[in-house]
Amino acid sequence: MDQTHIRNFCIIAHIDHGKSTLADRMLQRTGTISEREMQEQFLDGMDLEREKGVTIKASAVRMAYTANDGQAYQLNLIDTPGHVDFTYEVSRALAACEGAILVVDATQGIQAQTLANLYLALDYDLEIIPVVNKVDLASARPDEVAQEIEDLIGLDAADVLPVSAKTGVGVDALLEKLVERVPSPKGDPTAPPRALIFDSHYDAYKGVIAYIRVVDGKLNKKDDLYLMATKKIVEPLEVGIFQPGMKPINQVNTGEVGYVATGLKTIRDVRVGDTLTLQSFVEEYGTDKIKRLPGYEPIKPMVFAGFFPTESDDYTLLKDALEKLQLNDASLIYEPETSQALGFGFRVGFLGLFHMEIIQERLEREYDLDLLATAPSVEYEIMRKDGEVIIIDNPADLPDPNHIDTIAEPWMHISIYSPADYIGPIMEITTRRRGEYIKMEYLDETRVLMEYLIPLSEMIVDYYDQLKSVTRGYASLDYRFDNYRPGDLVKLDVLVNGEPVDALSIIVHREQSYPRGQKLVSKLKDVIPRQMFVVPIQAAVGKKVISRANVKAMRKDVLAKCYGGDITRKRKLLEKQKKGKKRMKMVGSVEIPQEAFMTVLSLGDD
């Protein structure tokens, strides 16, 4: 197809604003899928995506559209993930487009990720087409929301299209606007081929499938290809396009979106954001002459947790399940870990809490595993006194405090969008978690944007849940990494029956160690079952015990057979029982239930 008739675009929106439903209507209107094949949220292939109402995996589809002027156009829709944890994937998908449809819910207005994704799109200089969705609802405020878009973003309210993705109202006008407003790709068909990889997935037969947007030149299935970041040479099994299933073709031309079946067996070899070019050009001119496409960066996990099987025999099953999941998720990293309390398991790194939740649910559902997850932690930078810098993600790995000079933790820049009525409670829960106020601005008479710096370790426990509860579900949150900052941090150990339980250790700010320790001990006292002997539970910082509680022993009534008689006889029986309990305690071991490890997660401000 003529390059001037190609339109590459994506849809950006906050969670649950109707992005996937709008994509469904476009697929139907352009005849890409038949009524018989149609199902809700067609591009969201996973059950989890449909249940949670959020796109997790990016996908692409080519649509053929004949405009009102009678011209045929090729529309390439790149569907982006809909959660803040996947911002890097969204940025790569945006880099593959020339335009973006900005979808805003007519009942809720602009929210956190609406703006976050919009600013990303503006960074890539994309043509923005604003749309107010769900206009068919009784509570819709299309005119107010259109005015909100004009006030906040500067796009004319008259240009905002009212659409109902559910009923299909306004979709035809939107397709016309796409053809009219979104520019065609600018690549050079005669230049050395360069293609941007914006996503990938693993296929058991074809290896890693790279989703590509050809920027310059063209890619032919007979040519050997070269991956510039990983320096891998690829003999493609096939190249093709998404319609919406994979359809092999001979070549993908300049400006088009398609895929390459690489035959590679590890997804880490095909990195999102990498540049794909011809091996023959690299041999002839060298990699210096071929300019890599900008924006590539290795994916870095932010949140870490230990995954342990409740049955130790399931360790190999968990290992196999993680290996299979990693084939389709390059951002998932893991390494074996041993815990004295929980046995053998894995330390797993995630992009964020939502990513962790998705992986845990997939392991339990798709692989039928019963898992025990430890409390999530973050990566700390430890500066030792001898000048060495080490990075740890498990509190149990913290070196001896005598050898530590400073401990630095990651801080996040967060943006909270909320009705103005809830400013007080939001400020309270954020400052209580060591949040530092940056600024506050009113978006209109009723809505406010607040920006804070807050440690990631304070965010990952239950900050989001608390934010939702104090604002009755109206607030939305966006966050990004700011920097590492040294702090007065200490390791809080938990000892059960005198033995430290490594899986319950947490790193906290010194000021919060006493209240955290007390809360943890009192919660553990309720969940650890009673034994035949007294079980002391202690919270300690270093060698200093800061809180203690005892789980009382189960006792037999040894005085039941004494009817009257001398007190010394009763005392003798009680002393005998006491000696037995002492002997039991020396050899007895305490089984710690799963709920005990979950208590660390619910150490919020009750």
Q: What percent of the chain shows pLDDT beyond 90?
A: 1
Across 332-359, average pLDDT: 82
CATH number for the segment(s) 381-487: 3.30.70.240
pLDDT tens for 53-74 read 555 555 788 888 888 888 888 8
Higher pLDDT, 601 or 138: 138
User: Between the CA of residue 8 and those of 60, 70, 76, 294, what are the distances in Å?
Assistant: 10, 20, 5, 18
Inform me whether the pLDDT recorded for 405 exceeds 50: yes
pLDDT tens for 456-470 read 888 877 787 788 788
Distance CA 82, CA 605 (A): 29
Most confident of 387-391, 417-421, 425-429: 425-429
Segment among 292-301, 535-544, 575-584 with least mean pLDDT:
575-584
Higher pLDDT, 436 or 294: 436
The fold for domain 3-181 equals Rossmann fold (3.40.50)
**Residue (of 426, 419, 417) closest to 463 by Cα position:** 426
pLDDT at 453: 92
Do the Cβ atoms of 10 and 78 come closer than 8 Å? yes
**pLDDT confidence bin for 556, thresholds 50/70/90:** low
Inform me whether the pLDDT recorded for 27 exceeds 70: yes
**pLDDT confidence bin for 551, thresholds 50/70/90:** confident
pLDDT at 44: 47
The fold for domain 491-602 equals Alpha-Beta Plaits (3.30.70)
The fold for domain 303-374 equals Alpha-Beta Plaits (3.30.70)
Distance CA 581, CA 600 (A): 30
Across 21-37, average pLDDT: 75
Segment among 53-67, 142-156, 224-238, 302-316 with least mean pLDDT:
53-67
pLDDT at 537: 87
Inform me whether the pLDDT recorded for 98 exceeds 50: yes
Higher pLDDT, 115 or 308: 308
Inform me whether the pLDDT recorded for 394 exceeds 60: yes
Q: What residue ranges do the domains of the chain occupy?
A: 3-181, 194-285, 303-374, 381-487, 491-602
Inform me whether the pLDDT recorded for 153 exceeds 80: no
pLDDT tens for 165-223 read 788 888 888 888 888 888 888 888 888 888 888 888 778 888 888 888 888 888 888 88
The fold for domain 194-285 equals Elongation Factor Tu (Ef-tu); domain 3 (2.40.30)
Do the Cβ atoms of 345 and 315 come closer than 8 Å? yes
Token pair belonging to 347: 């330390």
pLDDT at 45: 47
The residues near 521 (Cβ < 8 Å, ≥ 6 apart) are: 494, 537, 538, 539, 547, 548, 549
pLDDT tens for 220-265 read 888 888 888 888 888 888 888 888 778 888 888 888 888 888 888 8
Which amino acid is located at 109 in the chain?
G
User: Between the CA of residue 488 and those of 107, 378, 388, 508, 513, what are the distances in Å?
Assistant: 45, 16, 19, 9, 11
**Residue (of 89, 94, 107) closest to 16 by Cα position:** 107
Across 150-157, average pLDDT: 78
Higher pLDDT, 606 or 355: 355
Domains 194-285 and 491-602 share a fold: no
Across 88-96, average pLDDT: 80
